[in-house]
Amino acid sequence: MAHIADVFFVDGMRTPFGRAGEKGMYWNTRADDLVVKTIIGVMERNPGVSPERVDDVAIAATSQTGDQGLTLGRSAAILAGLPMTVPGFAIDRMCAGAMTSVTTMAGSIGIGMYDIALAGGVEHMGRHPIGANADPNPRFVAERMVDPGALNMGVTAERIHDRFPHLTKARTDTFGMLSQQKAQAAYDAGKIQPDLVSVATKDADGAWGLATEDEGRRPETTLAGLATLKTPFRPHGRVTAGTASPLTDGATMGLLAGGQAVKELSLTPKMKLVSFAFAGVQPEIMGIGPIPSTEKALKKAGLSISDIGLFELNEAFAVQVISFLDHFGIADDDPRVNQWGGAIAVGHPLAASGVRLMIQLAAQFAERPDVRYGLTAMCVGLGQGGSVIWENPFFDGKKKK
Active site residues: 95, 348, 379
Residues 6+ away with beta carbon under 8 Å from 131: 151
The secondary structure of residue 151, as a DSSP letter, is G
**CB of 376 within 8 A of CB of 361?**
yes
Q: Give CA–CA dist 234/230, Å, rounded.
A: 9
Alpha helices in 214-370 (DSSP H): 223-227, 259-264, 290-301, 318-327, 343-346, 353-367
Which string of b and e fits 246-278 if b means at least 16 CB within 10 Å? bbbbbbbbbbbbbbebbeebebebbbbbbbbbb
Looking only at the bridges linking them, the beta strands covering 56-60 and 116-124 are: parallel
Alpha helices in 231-289 (DSSP H): 259-264
